[in-house]
């Protein structure tokens, strides 16, 4: 929990306005701060008595370097640091959830499946630590923060490179008794195997609520760690054997972190957020709400009204370029989405070495991967047709420098098939780029294959903030993300006069529902709108009582993120209460099913979507060409795919010859392409994210979605 700042605390550190204290230790203070971009951060500041010590400053400098080298969605990233400042500081992304230690103490041991999910994600975080030659050396429940979309490993304060000499004195035990490996208990050097031992202790604690080597005096605890067998009574059978291996006395007998990841088989669906018990989810929600009750911030100009007059909004509303990092319970990564092709990049594509002069002998192939026959086939087919139209128009143009072939694969909306067809398509040595996939799960599953072959991949509709455990090297999102659109939607609600808005997050909607709902709540506060978040109870048989309870709080707005069926149930329940305030449904739930199931109760609901109405003026020329080609009006998402295809074709034409995958990716990422729907420019700092956060507002009238125009900050 946070504490108020004391009179002796600074107001700012390294460009961060300090808002509260998160904690204090023997060597420094950790503050909750807000960067100039609007992002929240945990800012660790070293006390003066230590900053003046050359040895300690060297250790802190090493801490900063170590933390910067770790790249994993399950390890909290460094957002800024200055180890040479008068008061050295380190800022990391802020995760408002409780630690694993707090969760177990408050809610009891985690169920078997949650322990497996926890183990896999932390094993992946440690793999990232070990892959850059580091050892964490203090893996414990207090250094694991829980978010609904997965855990986050924090505090690399005593991590060190395995080849470096430790700055601690000889014979000093570094780490936390009860989670130390036997070699650490003997004050011997730690290794990656030591972290695996600590992970085994941590998972045993998560499963049973007890330390595997007991409690008591430190000396006795260290003795039992070195000489006794762990107490694993109560550990589920499906993980006990693995934990016994992790807790082997001999470091050589333990599995690696990567092997722990591979051994923890689970039944989790890709993209699910449903891995924690209700009691822990409530704890996370309560902790997040409490920590986001921040002091008022002075207003500043962010943008302009249509008439050119500046609009005064709080600095809490981050600018569009960094909105996706605002705050998402630690970043909102998709559980178990495939990816991590970085290790395969040695298998480079031939076209990375083909000179321009030989390009005439090669085909120019643009790929499309989409769900053409599965649950999202309407979107996938619309996108495939949009891309095909752009390619046909280019090929029919006079003076074209090359002829472009289109190669399409259907992943059917299935992750396993998505990985399979991606491998096959990526193996085509003539493939220049691929547009797709349609959904989040299939996009995550295909990333590794395209990345391994250095093929740029651009998704039109997948909007997650992160995928899997490795950052893809040739990936771009040509769509505002789930953590970007809510800022624009909250601003629109502000302009419509909202003052108190309830947000209902339905976990059946998966990662999109959580990311949209959570960041909507955050941005409501940024616009001085009182927000009240709720998560649908897992065992709720009907949503009517939840809705009635929320309406009793006298709000003037209601936001639902989840599924079409859940949205319809909420719409009917709200209608029965007579509520006639502002109503918003997250766009993944706003399909035709919502209209059908909600009936007249759907009227008045608003949708803030990343796709334009195909009949809108900016895309009218495209709509005419689409109708001529396919004999029907274009559906949603077709214009966006057409735009992206034309962007790729434009960059290919500008390359001055057949480009390598790296060259084409650089042209796509570093340029700005003005399409019919929006300008496609990508964030310089956050790799694959689109800068634009513009949304298109719809309102249900007479049982159909009526286009209300573009909304932006």
**Backbone φ and ψ of 695, nearest 5°:** -125, 160
Q: Residue 236 and residue 129: Cα distance in Å, rounded?
A: 28
- Tell me how far apart the terminal alpha carbons of the chain are, to the nearest angstrom: 32
Supply 585's token pair.
């449904």
Is 274 one of the annotated active-site residues of the chain?
Answer: no
pLDDT score of 291: 57
- Cβ(511)–Cβ(271) below 8 Å: yes
Supply 653's token pair.
């034409």
- The CATH architecture one would assign to domain 341-480+615-682 is 3-Layer(aba) Sandwich (3.40)
- Cβ(433)–Cβ(457) below 8 Å: yes
For 162-186, the pLDDT digits (tens) are 433 333 333 444 457 888 899 988 8
Helix (H) or strand (E) holding 92, with range, is: strand 89-93
pLDDT score of 683: 87
CA dist list (Å): 51 to 61, 213, 378 = 11, 36, 60
What 3-state DSSP class applies to 243?
Answer: helix
CA dist list (Å): 698 to 340, 380, 568 = 37, 21, 17
| Top-ranked range on mean pLDDT: pick from 68-72, 342-346, 465-469 | 68-72
3-state SS, one letter per residue, for 603-633: CCEEEEECCCCCCCHHHHHHHHHHHHHHCCC
Note the Cα 122 to chain centre separation in Å: 16
Q: pLDDT class for 66, splitting at 50, 70, 90?
A: confident
Task: State yes or no: pLDDT of 366 exceeds 60.
Answer: yes
pLDDT score of 290: 62
pLDDT score of 175: 58
pLDDT score of 1: 58
What 3-state DSSP class applies to 7?
Answer: coil
Cα angle value 603/607/610 (rounded, 5°):
155
Question: What is the mean pLDDT of the segment spanning 342-348?
Answer: 32
DSSP string, 334-368: ETT----GGGGTTS--GGGS--GGGGGGS-EEEEE
Average pLDDT, the chain: 83
Of 295 and 664, more confident: 664
| Top-ranked range on mean pLDDT: pick from 5-9, 504-508, 560-564 | 560-564
Beta bridge partners of 501: 531, 557
Task: State yes or no: pLDDT of 345 exceeds 50.
Answer: no
Residue span(s) of the chain under CATH 3.40.50.2300 come to 296-325+483-609+698-711, 341-480+615-682
**CB neighbour class for 172 (10 Å; exposed up to 12, middle 13-18, buried from 19):** exposed
Task: State yes or no: pLDDT of 340 exceeds 80.
Answer: no
- Cβ(561)–Cβ(589) below 8 Å: yes
For 182-222, the pLDDT digits (tens) are 998 887 888 999 999 999 999 999 999 999 998 766 666 78
Q: Residue 423 and residue 192: Cα distance in Å, rounded?
A: 32
- Cβ(490)–Cβ(566) below 8 Å: no
Task: State yes or no: pLDDT of 317 exceeds 50.
Answer: no
In this structure, the chain runs to a length of 713
Q: Tokens 């990526």 belong to which residue? A: 426
User: Over the range 289-305, which residues count as b (16 or more CB within 10 Å of their CB) and which as e?
Assistant: eebbeeeeeeeeebeee
Of 38 and 344, more confident: 38
**What's the DSSP call for residue 162?**
T
**Backbone φ and ψ of 155, nearest 5°:** 65, 85
CA dist list (Å): 445 to 288, 513, 539, 662 = 30, 20, 30, 21
pTM of the model: 0.62
CATH 3.40.50.2300 fits 296-325+483-609+698-711, yes or no: yes
Of 4 and 637, more confident: 637
Supply 566's token pair.
């859940």
Task: State yes or no: pLDDT of 702 exceeds 70.
Answer: yes
Supply 86's token pair.
């008068």
Q: Residue 682 and residue 273: Cα distance in Å, rounded?
A: 28
Nearest CA among 704, 501, 455 for reference residue 595: 704
Q: Residue 27 and residue 48: Cα distance in Å, rounded?
A: 9
Supply 425's token pair.
């398509």
Q: How many other C-beta atoms lie within 10 A of the C-beta of residue 129?
A: 27
Supply 385's token pair.
């047709």
Of 195 and 348, more confident: 195
| Top-ranked range on mean pLDDT: pick from 27-41, 277-291, 432-446 | 432-446
Question: What is the mean pLDDT of the segment spanning 410-436?
Answer: 95
CA dist list (Å): 196 to 71, 193, 204, 642 = 18, 5, 12, 48
CATH 3.40.50.300 fits 1-94, yes or no: no
Of the listed 71, 82, 84, 138, which one is catalytic? Answer: 138
Task: State yes or no: pLDDT of 338 exceeds 80.
Answer: no
Q: pLDDT class for 517, splitting at 50, 70, 90?
A: very high
CA dist list (Å): 236 to 144, 215, 259, 262, 666 = 21, 22, 19, 18, 49
Within 471-518, strands assigned E span 475-477, 500-505
Q: Tokens 């909202």 belong to which residue? A: 498
Task: State yes or no: pLDDT of 286 exceeds 50.
Answer: yes
């Amino acid at each position: 929990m946070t504490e108020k700042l004391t009179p002796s605390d600074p107001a700012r550190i390294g460009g961060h306005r300090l808002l509260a204290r998160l904690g204090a230790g023997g060597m420094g203070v950790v503050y909750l701060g807000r960067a100039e971009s609007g992002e929240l951060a945990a800012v660790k500041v070293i006390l003066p008595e230590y900053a003046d010590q050359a040895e300690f400053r060297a250790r802190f400098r090493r801490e900063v370097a170590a933390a910067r080298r770790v790249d994993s969605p399950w390890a909290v990233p460094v957002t800024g640091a200055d180890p040479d400042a008068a008061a050295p500081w380190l800022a990391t992304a802020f995760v408002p959830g409780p630690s694993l230690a707090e969760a177990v103490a408050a809610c009891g041991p985690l169920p078997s499946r949650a322990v497996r999910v926890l183990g896999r994600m932390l094993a992946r975080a440690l793999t990232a630590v070990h892959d850059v030659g580091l050892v964490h050396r203090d893996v414990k429940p207090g250094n694991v923060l829980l978010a609904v979309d997965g855990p986050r490993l924090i505090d690399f304060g005593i991590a060190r490179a395995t080849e470096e000499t430790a700055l601690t004195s000889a014979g000093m035990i570094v780490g936390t008794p009860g989670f130390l490996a036997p070699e650490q208990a003997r004050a011997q050097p730690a290794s990656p195997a030591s972290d695996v031992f600590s992970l085994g202790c941590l998972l045993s604690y998560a499963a049973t609520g007890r330390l595997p080597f007991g409690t008591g005096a430190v000396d006795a605890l260290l003795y039992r760690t070195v000489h006794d067998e762990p107490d694993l009574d109560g550990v589920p059978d499906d993980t006990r054997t693995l934990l016994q291996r992790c807790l082997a006395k001999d470091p050589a007998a333990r599995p690696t972190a990567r092997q722990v990841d591979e051994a923890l088989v689970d039944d989790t669906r890709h993209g699910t957020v449903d891995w924690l018990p209700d009691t822990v989810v409530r704890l996370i929600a309560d902790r997040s709400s409490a920590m986001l009750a921040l002091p008022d911030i002075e207003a500043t100009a962010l943008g302009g009204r249509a008439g050119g007059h500046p609009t005064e909004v709080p600095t809490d509303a981050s600018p569009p370029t960094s909105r996706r990092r605002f705050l998402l319970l630690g970043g909102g990564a998709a559980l178990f989405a495939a990816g991590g092709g970085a290790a395969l990049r040695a298998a480079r594509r031939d076209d990375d070495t083909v000179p321009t002069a030989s390009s005439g002998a090669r085909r120019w192939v643009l790929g499309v991967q989409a769900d053409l026959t599965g649950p999202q086939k309407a979107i996938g087919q619309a996108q495939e047709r949009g891309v095909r139209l752009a390619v046909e128009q280019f090929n029919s143009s006079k003076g074209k420098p090359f002829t472009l072939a289109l190669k399409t694969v259907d992943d059917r909306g299935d992750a396993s098939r998505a990985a399979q067809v991606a491998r096959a398509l990526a193996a085509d040595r003539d493939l220049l780029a691929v547009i797709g996939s349609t959904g989040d799960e299939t996009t995550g599953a295909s990333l590794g294959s395209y990345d391994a072959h250095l093929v740029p991949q651009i998704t039109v509709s997948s909007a997650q903030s992160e995928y899997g455990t490795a950052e893809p090297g040739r990936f771009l999102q040509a769509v505002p993300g789930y953590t970007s659109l809510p800022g624009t939607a909250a601003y629109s609600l502000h302009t419509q006069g909202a003052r108190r808005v309830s947000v209902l997050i339905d976990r059946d909607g998966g990662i999109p529902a959580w990311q949209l709902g959570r960041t909507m709540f955050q941005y409501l506060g940024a616009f001085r709108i009182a927000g009240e978040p709720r998560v649908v109870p897992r065992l709720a048989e009907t949503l009517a009582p939840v809705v009635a309870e929320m309406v009793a709080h006298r709000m003037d707005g209601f936001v639902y993120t989840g599924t079409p069926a859940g949205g319809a149930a909420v719409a009917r329940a709200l209608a029965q209460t007579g509520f006639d305030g502002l109503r918003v449904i997250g766009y993944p739930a706003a399909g035709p099913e919502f209209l059908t199931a909600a009936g007249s109760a759907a009227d008045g609901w608003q949708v803030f979507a990343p796709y334009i109405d195909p009949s809108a003026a900016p895309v009218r020329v495209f709509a005419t060409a689409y109708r001529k080609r396919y004999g029907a009006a274009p559906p949603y998402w077709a214009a966006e795919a057409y735009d992206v295809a034309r962007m790729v074709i434009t960059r290919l034409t500008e390359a001055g010859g057949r480009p390598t995958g790296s060259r084409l990716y650089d042209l796509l990422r570093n340029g700005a392409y003005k399409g019919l729907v929006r300008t496609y420019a990508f964030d310089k700092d956050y790799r694959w994210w689109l800068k634009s956060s513009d949304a298109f507002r719809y309102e249900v009238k007479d049982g159909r979605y009526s286009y209300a125009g573009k909304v932006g900050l």
